[in-house]
Structure formats: structure tokens, C-alpha cells
Chain A
């Protein structure tokens, strides 16, 4: 039980990811698939943000008492790692671009076949 509670954010990330994965595989509605894909990507964002967390009251890396000549040595354990957050900004941009392309393709299909159900589209193609 401790194992689950101590790392609950990782468990949530796995659960979210599997929900998204299930939607991508099992749903036939294209929009549901797209929503599943987005949940999947968001889960990864949660994962990245989790790995930058540190126990013991670590805070934002804003150095108030550092002098300009770099004479002040900082204690790494006091600060959170900001890099994963920055990486995730890029990943959010990527996931929005993917979402945009996916929705555009879904619209293309809706205009042509007047449905968003995958099996009905397959029937219309054949």
C-alpha cells in the first residue's frame, strides 16, 4: 500500500495512459480515438513533470541571493529541476499539432462520408 501511495503520481500516469490506449484501440468513433490519443499524450506530460519533483521542500529555481559573478554556490537539492517542464512545453506543442492534424483528417472524412464511425466509413469505401 505504501508502495502505491508513495508514488501515486506514477500510478495515475500509468492509469491515464492505459485509459487513452484503450480508447485508441477499442473505440470505433474517430473523435473518441482522438480524445484517447490526447489522454495518452497528457499522461506522458504528467510523467515528465513527476520526475522533476524532489522531496524535502525543494522549490522553484529562482536564485534570489546569487551574485552576478557566480561566487555563490547553490545547493541542488533545494531546487526543482526545471528542464522536464521545458521539455513538456515542446511536447504540448507537438501534441496540439497532432490533435490539429487528426481533427483535420476527421473533418475530411466527415465531409465525404457524413459519419465519424470507423466501420461505417470502411463500408462506404468498399
Chain B
């Protein structure tokens, strides 16, 4: 019984607990934290269950209210979204556990509403990923975005303006997506993803389809912060509260990449997206430019969180570029990178949150002699940093390996060059931090002898923040070690047949 209903429960549990959170907070504020964790734990269990079913029995079709597809809304779970579901619920659960201390420090009197929005945000992400209906996807996209704007606006000085700009651009992106849906509906009369995929090949010559495709791609590029459309991202994620950016930064861009994969390879057939249109070529160059600009801009930053934002922009370039290379190996690399990037970005922003909690600052100078003060946090940070650089056996190596292998096979040397360039820049970025953190430069001047003892005292982050960070670090190594079996059981089924 529960197993049959698991797909819808994943979303419904989050939505209903979001609605119930203010009531629980009204009774007793401290109950919100365990409540959110409980809800997300239940949701995570459901998504693991669903993933298990998908691996053993193939795709699941769930008809809401038993209305059959062309009329009703359908949830379709195949290998790609089963993977995304587990990633989203897992990330949300870890960040929820992590959130307690950080929220108490940053938003002491607004935790109840923060958790409400938090759950709504997760609901939005889950809904986007699980649904098999293009209009339903738009609604969930807006739920996720609206919750995201509100979460970001609660941040530090300047956060409301950053959130406002994000809102304006995000709305344009979502509206473009909606227009794309409208144009498709105009010629097909259907909103169901699977049915559209069946009808569309007969209409590939039509200009209306081209317009729809263009609207989809531009709207999604805005949502995923692909290079020329990335301007909202650094401000929004830097100024958001630590917990909000630890949730939104790993997921929002990756969910948008997921929608792009769906539009390009499920809604439209791969031969339309790859052979009939020069889309992949544009995506390839957009990816290359995003990687280079992201890497260079990251070098110029003096604020750790802002630096991470530009790394996120570069990582979007990896995935988009991998799709742009358009052969099986590179797309496999891109999908594996979606998974890895969720984990790595989560790790990076979790460390940023811990630093902000202990040092009250995210400037790079806050890392001064930090290895002595917070050895455990920095050990986890090292694992994450090595993975972002791409050192085996961490997971970051393997997705980069597939991307490079794929682009060599396709003869796209420019993408290979961009990948290597960004890896080198990542080495500089992270070793700069390790240098600042390892040696005792004394930001306040070398003469501060009295502070030396104080500096070397270990003052670690609270366990509720450390444990999730360590789970992430462990996940990075485990995904790296078991990448072969992950690829054969999940990702190879998600790669479109070219």
C-alpha cells in the first residue's frame, strides 16, 4: 500500500508538513526543528524506496487521482529523476540537521517561518523532478523559486535587493518556460510529457516548435545561471543566510539542468536537439565561456562564499558543456556531474556556514590559522576541495574524466582545454585558502604575540553542523569509489539513446 503511494508521498509529506509548520511553531517553537527533520526523513525514505523500485522494476507511472495521462496529471519516475529525488531529499535532510545552530545565530526570531519556506522550497524541487506534466512542472518551478526568493531576502545587509533582482530575472525565466509550454500546446493540444514526445516528431519542421524550444532553453538558462544570464546568482547566494544558501546553491541550478536534460532528450528526441538544430554547439561554447569566466571571477573574490558562487557558475558550465559535446560518454559525465556537484556544492556551502557561524565572517581573512582552530571542519573541507579540483578517488575526478574522455572522442579540444584550465584554477583557489589557513599569518599584524595562544586553541563547530558535513565528505569518497556501479545501475539508463 505505502509502496504503491510512495511517489506521491515524497511530495505530499513535504507540502503538508510545510503547511503544518507554523501551527507547530505556534504551539512551541522548539518543536519545529525535530518536525522538519521528521518530515524530511519520511520523504527521504520514500524516495529511497522509489529509487529501489525503479532500479529493480523499471520506470514507475503514478496517476494522480487515477486519472489516466492525457487528461490527468501523471508522475513518471525513471532512473534520472529517481537519482534526483534521492539527491534532493538527502540534501534537504542533511541541511535541516545542520540548520539548528546556524539559524539560532543568524535568524533567531524567524526560525518558524524559515522552516516553512524551507519545506516549500524542497516541495518545489521534488515536484519539478517527479512530475510528467509540463504545466505542472511550471507550477512547481514557481513554488521553488518563490520560496527561494523569500529565503534569500531574509539574509544579511543587501539581501533584499539581491533577492529582488533574482525575483525579476527568475520570473522572466519562468515566464519564458510558460510561453514555451503555450506554443507546444498550441500545435499539439497536450501537456503530458510522454504524449508530447510522441506527437512532436511529426511537427519538427514547424516554426512554432522552434520558438517553443528557444523559449524553453532561454528560460532554463536564466534559471540555471548559464554564463551571460548568471548575474543574479553571486549576490543572491552570497547574501542569503548560510542555511538557505546551503540548500539552494546545490539544488536550484542542478534542478534547472535536469529540466534542460528532460526538454532536450525526453520532450524532444535527441536527433532534434542534436542533429536538426545547432543547439548543442551553442551550449558547448556557452559552457566553455561559463567555465572560464566562472574560474577567473572566482580568483578575483576576497569573500569565500562569493568565490563559491562563481565556482557554482563554472560547474554549470561543466554540465551544459557536457550536454553540448553530445555523445554518450560526455552526457554520462554530465549526469554524473549533476550528482557530484550537488554533493560537492553542499559540502562547500556547509563549510562556509560553519566558518560564518564561528568567525562571524566569510572573508578569506577569516581563514587565518583555521587549521589549528577547527581541525575537523578543515579535514572535511580538504576532502571537498580535492573533489572540486578533481583528485581521485573523490567523485569529482570521475565526472571530469568522463567529460574529458567524451570531448576527446568528439574532437572538441576547446572543451578539454576549458576543463583543464578550470581544474588548474581550482587548485590555485583552494590552495590559497589552505595556505591562509595552515600558516599563522596573523591578519591583525604579526606583532600580536599575546593572541598566539588564543589562536591555537581548538574551538570546533557544534556536532549538529559537523556530522552533516562529514556525511557529505564520506559521500564524496563513496561516490568516487563506487562510481562504476552507480553508472551501470542508474546513470547508463538515464543517458539518452543517441
Contact = CB atoms under 8 A, between A and B. Distances in A.
A79 to B, nearest CB: 13
Contacts of B168: 24, 33, 37, 102
Given A51-B186, A121-B161, A44 B146 contact: no
Nearest to A37: B171
Q: Which of B150, B153, B171, B186 has the most CB of A within 10 A?
A: B171
A58 interface: no
B149 interface: yes
Given A87-B135, A98-B142, A125-B161, A105 B182 contact: no
A101 B175 contact: no
B139 A94 contact: yes
B193 to A, nearest CB: 15
A109 B165 CA distance: 13
Interface string A89-105: 01100100110011011
Contacts of B161: 109, 118, 121-122, 125
Contacts of A94: 138-139, 142
B178 interface: yes
Interface string A13-36: 000000001001000001001000
Interface in B133-158: 135, 138-139, 142, 146, 149-150, 153, 157-158
B247 to A, nearest CB: 17
Contacts of B158: 125
Contact of A102 (B157, B167, B175, B178): B167
Interface string B162-173: 011001100110
B178 A44 contact: yes
Nearest to A125: B158
A112 B178 CA distance: 34
B179 A101 contact: no
B438 interface: no
A108 B146 CA distance: 16
- Secondary structure call for the B interface: helix
Contacts of A37: 168, 171
A81 B175 CA distance: 22
Contact of A98 (B171, B182, B189): B171
Given A94-B142, A106-B164, A40 B172 contact: yes
A104 B161 CA distance: 12
A118 B162 CA distance: 11
A101 B143 CA distance: 12
A32 B230 CA distance: 23
Interface in B174-202: 175, 178-179, 182, 185-186, 189, 191
A41 B157 contact: no
A97 B153 contact: no
A125 B163 CA distance: 14
Given A105-B160, A125-B157, A47 B179 contact: yes
A101 B160 contact: no
Contact of B178 (A91, A106, A118): A91
Contacts of A102: 164, 167-168
26 contacts: A24-B172, A33-B168, A40-B171, A40-B172, A41-B175, A44-B179, A44-B182, A47-B179, A47-B182, A51-B182, A51-B185, A51-B186, A84-B182, A87-B191, A90-B139, A94-B138, A98-B167, A101-B149, A104-B153, A105-B153, A105-B163, A108-B153, A109-B164, A118-B161, A122-B161, A125-B158
Interface of A: 21, 24, 30, 33, 37, 40-41, 44, 47-48, 51, 81, 83-84, 87, 90-91, 94, 97-98, 101-102, 104-106, 108-109, 112, 118, 121-122, 125
Given A108-B153, A125-B158, 15 more contacts: A24-B172, A33-B168, A37-B168, A44-B182, A47-B182, A48-B182, A84-B182, A98-B142, A101-B167, A102-B164, A105-B149, A105-B167, A109-B164, A112-B160, A118-B161
Shortest beta-carbon contacts, A-B, top 4 = A125-B158, A108-B160, A94-B142, A109-B160
